[in-house]
Amino acid sequence: LEKNRSDLYGVTISGSKQVERGSWIVGIDFHHDDVASSRVSEDVASAARTEIAPRFPDGSSMQLLSAYGNGTWAASQRHSLTLGLRLSDVRTRLPSSGVHNTEISGDIGWVADLDDAWQFTANVGYGFRAPNVFDLGTLGNRPGNRFNIPNPGLESEHVIHGDLGIRYRGLQSEFSLVVYTMDYGDRITSVSTGATTPDGRDITQSVNAASSDIYGVEASARIEVDLNWLVNANLAYTRGEQDIGGISEPADRIPPLSGYIGIEYAPDSAFGFEAWASIAGAQDRLSARDIRDTRIDPNGTPGWASLGVRGTWRPSDEWLLTLEASNILDASYRMHGSGIDATGRNLAVRVVRTWH
């Protein structure tokens, strides 16, 4: 039997101002999180209960104090710049130890209006993630036949990211294409200690032993064919490699190629019809951790496609009737990394009454 509780308290104070060629905002954040955790083992035959180590160290806390500023400046009629900086002080306390991290993060962006329809964007940033209570003190049984022990000596993770994009906005169509990359260093990962528990679980510990290089591309389009027809589509692809202790492998939990296309038809203001398809390719590039995870097929997650249709009728401003059928081919599939299979064929009827 297990009980976990987290009480989070926070306050934010900020101020902003519009200036002649831009705007700025400054502020202070403060958050404090208290964690309570307990766990007991019960003998089914005798009903005797024994207190065992909790999932998180009971009485742990995490405190974040940060000051930030962000500004936007119109350098010219067609060029604008954004700059953001944040100074963060993070204190994570466990009953037996604690970690204190002070870091600076920031980003800078550039937007160029090539003409009235085309726009170019570029962004680069640096960030960090301090170890939290979960990283420092997650104890006991974990998914993938693991038993995790704490490591109070963890340091912050650091990331450098950048992206380039181009956007088009016309009278009847929109299009965007973005490519991005991320260098993820000092990454906290769970590694095996080489030992096992009496019941056969691998004893693991979280350490700053991994680095990842992740990159990808995202594209989206929206086309108004005419006054009645509309087409929406998007496509995303991500690839990642990671290094753990000098061993290179695919990065954890990288999603497969995925996309969506939807067609909408509205003959008048009362009726609307929509059909869509969501698709995902197979993902068989798995890390060692993915393979151990019982939520992921060790041979990879198969690709899938799901089709749906929806019809709406608005007889008046007050009433809206919606009839929707999703996964109409009753495809059996699972989102990569999810522990739950998607629902099968599904039919829903919704009636909405609005009072003005």
Residue spans of the domains in the chain: they are 63-226+235-251, 256-356
Report the C-alpha gap between 283 and 288 in whole angstroms: 14
The CB density around residue 9, as the number of other CB atoms within 10 Å, is: 10
Q: How confident is the model at residue 60 (pLDDT cuts 50, 70, 90)?
A: very high
The CB density around residue 240, as the number of other CB atoms within 10 Å, is: 20
The confidence score (pLDDT) of residue 192 equals 82
The confidence score (pLDDT) of residue 106 equals 98
35-62: average pLDDT: 88
The confidence score (pLDDT) of residue 292 equals 85
Q: Which of 259, 272, 345 minimizes the C-alpha distance to 310? A: 272
Positive or negative CA dihedral for 280, 283, 287, 291? positive
260-275: average pLDDT: 96
63-226+235-251 classified as CATH 2.40.170.20: yes
Higher pLDDT, 254 or 145: 254
Higher pLDDT, 339 or 333: 333
232-253: average pLDDT: 94
b (16+ CB within 10 A) / e for 267-293: eeeeebebbbebbbbebeebbbbbebb
32-58: average pLDDT: 88
The confidence score (pLDDT) of residue 154 equals 84
Q: Which of 235, 212, 231 minimizes the C-alpha distance to 223? A: 231
To 5 degrees, how large is the angle CA 335–CA 336–CA 337?
Answer: 110
Lowest mean pLDDT of 111-120, 136-145, 162-171, 269-278, name the range: 136-145
Q: How confident is the model at residue 55 (pLDDT cuts 50, 70, 90)?
A: confident
Is the entire prediction scored with pTM above 0.75? yes
b (16+ CB within 10 A) / e for 130-158: bbbbbbbbbbbebebbbbbebbeebebbb
Lowest mean pLDDT of 84-98, 187-201, 292-306, 314-328, name the range: 187-201
Residue range 187-232, pLDDT digits in tens: 988 788 888 888 889 888 888 988 999 999 999 999 999 999 999 9
Structure tokens given for 297? 């097929």
**8: Cβ–Cβ under 8 A, 6 or more apart, which residues?**
31, 32, 33
The CB density around residue 212, as the number of other CB atoms within 10 Å, is: 22
Decide if pLDDT at 63 tops 90. yes
The confidence score (pLDDT) of residue 259 equals 98
Residue range 115-153, pLDDT digits in tens: 999 999 999 999 999 998 888 877 777 777 888 787 777
Distance spanning both ends of the chain, measured CA to CA: 49
Classify 321 as helix, strand or coil: strand
